Amino acid sequence: MDMKTVSTIDALRVDGDRLWRSLMDLGAIGATQKGGVCRLALTDLDKQGRDLVSAWAIQQGMTVTVDQIGNIFMRRAGRNNDLPPVMTGSHIDTQPTGGKFDGNYGVLSGLEVIRTLNQHNIQTEAPIEVAVWTNEEGSRFVPVMMGSGVFCGAFTLEHAYAAKDTEGKTVKDELARIGYIGDQISGDHPIGAYYEAHIEQGPVLENADTVIGVVPAVLGLAWYDCVVTGFESHAGPTPMAIRRDALQVATYIMQEVVAIALRYPPYGRGTVGSVQVMPNSRNVIPGQVTFSIDLRNVSDATLDSMNAELDAYIDKLRADTGLGITLQRVSYFPPCAFHPDCVSQVRNAANMLGYATMDVVSGAGHDAIYTARVAPSGMIFVPCKDGVSHNEIEDAKPEHLEAGANVLLHAMLASAVVVS
């Protein structure tokens, strides 16, 4: 590559207005009155979104392939198509009260990279692809990050196909109904490197007045179901000293979850997000409480230590109170460290473009967690207003979205290698 080519490439920038229009056009499918989006996985609205994005890709001369779990791969050819593609992407399904940017930005910033390369007649050695992963949110079907999970072998296609929504409809039937069961075997698709651009979904970048988050890792998480069993009785006649109050004991555990997280800064997280009280009556001492526990940290070692402290606390509480307490781990996602080469490409691109950066460890799960199992992967974060996501008021500044797409463009070009 000669110096003139290098200068031309360094000067490349995406069209921020075009990217914003694409986000708004996609956001109109399933738009809500509060300005958000409800486009659940494998619904008619999801089909409309998939069809629109695929049509945009075809307009850019890309070929579109769909695999058996409905993942969409939109490919721009390279000079050497025997090389594995440099891929970007995310998801376009949303939460029931979701926003326009979560996931959608990752897909459409990838499409904007393609539009920019086409506009300037830039050829790459390796092909470039944009992926749309199926059912990342998990709001209609469980498990979350389904498409990328099947792709990397975290669980089987049959397990995903059998998942049902609240109406008893299966993933396989709904994929077939909307016409998105493809022929390609899931995972039978090489990736040379994977980059995912995303809104941060937290307040760190905005609070630091920083444009680009370089993501070295994603927190691991352990989910538990805890059940405390006491004995329900009348709230009036039963003296305090002889009560077997399941809720009172459960609150001790809930407070300890938070205390454990605080003992493991800066990345310790501890949350109780779901609670069911039985019989849930105003004048009955609760006989049973079932609640969720969510522990997160950046390494297996710290998560193991947090788990050990939780186990020890519950063992002591069980002995002290005489109540039955069970703790079952129902899900585990190990911490994910992204590939140092991809992290460096993101950092180098941001520095070349003159954007302020900081490292941000992600507290949320993303499809890049699964692609990292099969290919070098990295992520780019941009700020979102007040750190709010999974909410209809989710918002981001156009100039920040443009900046993230510029970083994505140059990180991908560094991996795909521009032909002189």
Q: CA–CA separation, 283 vs 193, rounded Å?
A: 59
**Could you give the domains of the chain?**
3-218+335-416 (3.40.630.10), 220-333 (3.30.70.360)
Q: Give the pLDDT score at 420.
A: 56
Q: CA–CA separation, 16 vs 248, rounded Å?
A: 54
Q: Give the pLDDT score at 8.
A: 85
Average of per-residue pLDDT across 197-202: 97
Which of 73, 65, 69 is CA-nearest to residue 42?
A: 69
Among 138-147, 264-273, 395-404, 411-420, the least confident range = 411-420
**Residue 262 near residue 335 (C-beta atoms within 8 A):** no
Q: Give the pLDDT score at 263.
A: 98
Amino acid at 401: L
416: helix, coil or strand? helix
**Residue 220 near residue 307 (C-beta atoms within 8 A):** no
In DSSP terms, 276 is beta-bridged to: 290
Amino acid at 195: Y
User: How many CB atoms within 10 Å of residue 390?
Assistant: 17
**Residue 204 near residue 213 (C-beta atoms within 8 A):** yes
Q: Does residue 414 register a pLDDT over 80?
A: yes
Q: Does residue 2 register a pLDDT over 60?
A: no
pLDDT tens for each residue of 234-260: 999 999 999 999 999 999 999 999 999
Average of per-residue pLDDT across 216-232: 96
pLDDT tens for each residue of 339-368: 999 999 999 999 999 999 999 999 988 999
pLDDT tens for each residue of 27-67: 999 999 999 999 999 999 999 999 999 999 999 999 999 99
Q: Does residue 6 register a pLDDT over 70?
A: no
Confidence of residue 1 (pLDDT cuts 50, 70, 90): low
Q: Does residue 3 register a pLDDT over 50?
A: no
Q: Give the pLDDT score at 333.
A: 87
Q: Which two tokens stand for residue 51?
A: 């069809």
Which of 411, 46, 391, 42 is CA-nearest to residue 199?
A: 391
Which of 29, 58, 65, 26 is CA-nearest to residue 44?
A: 29
Q: CA–CA separation, 148 vs 245, rounded Å?
A: 44
> What's the whole-number average pLDDT of the chain?
96
208 backbone dihedrals φ, ψ, rounded to 5°: -90, 0
Q: CA–CA separation, 205 vs 268, rounded Å?
A: 19
321: helix, coil or strand? helix
Please report, to the nearest 10 degrees, the dihedral formed by the alpha carbons of residues 26, 27, 29, 34 taken in order.
-170
Average of per-residue pLDDT across 292-299: 96
- H-helix or E-strand containing 276? strand 275-278
Is the whole model's pTM more than 0.85, yes or no? yes
Q: CA–CA separation, 219 vs 299, rounded Å?
A: 7
Q: Is the dihedral of CA 75, 92, 268, 305 positive or negative?
A: negative
Average of per-residue pLDDT across 139-149: 95
Q: Which residue in this structure is represented by tokens 């399941």? A: 246
R_g (Cα) of the chain, nearest Å:
24
Among 250-259, 326-335, 367-376, the least confident range = 326-335
DSSP class of residue 118? H
In DSSP terms, 359 is beta-bridged to: 214
